[in-house]
Chains A and B, each alone.
Chain A
Amino acid sequence: AQTVTQSQPEMSVQEAETVTLSCTYDTSENNYYLFWYKQPPSRQMILVIRQEAYKQQNATENRFSVNFQKAAKSFSLKISDSQLGDTAMYFCAFMKRINMNRDDKIIFGKGTRLHILP
Chain B
Amino acid sequence: EAGVAQSPRYKIIEKRQSVAFWCNPISGHATLYWYQQILGQGPKLLIQFQNNGVVDDSQLPKDRFSAERLKGVDSTLKIQPAKLEDSAVYLCASSLVGANTGELFFGEGSRLTVL
Q: Which of A's residues lie within 8 Å of B, judged by CB? A: 4, 6, 33, 35, 37, 43-47, 50, 91, 95, 97, 99-103, 105-111
A102-B50, A106-B102 given; A44·B109 CB < 8 A: yes
Contact A43 B101 (CB under 8 A): no
Distance, CA A78 to CA B51, complexed state (A): 36
Q: Contacts of B48 on A, CB cut-off 8 Å? A: 105
Q: Which of A6, A100, A101, A105 contacts B45 (CB 8 A)?
A: A105
> Count of chain B residues with Cβ under 8 Å from any Cβ of A?
29
Q: Which of B3, B41, B55, B100 has the most CB of A within 10 A?
A: B100
Residues on B close to A: CB < 8 A? 3-4, 31, 33, 35, 40-45, 48, 50, 55-56, 91, 93, 95, 97-98, 100-104, 106-109
- The answer to whether A102 and B97 have CB atoms under 8 Å apart is yes
Q: Which of A44, A97, A103, A108 contacts B31 (CB 8 A)?
A: A103
Query: Which residues on the A side are within 8 Å of B41 (C-beta)?
Result: 110-111
| Chain A to chain B contacts (Cβ below 8 Å), 16 pairs | A35-B102, A91-B43, A97-B100, A97-B102, A99-B100, A103-B50, A103-B95, A103-B97, A105-B45, A105-B55, A106-B104, A107-B45, A108-B35, A108-B44, A110-B40, A110-B42
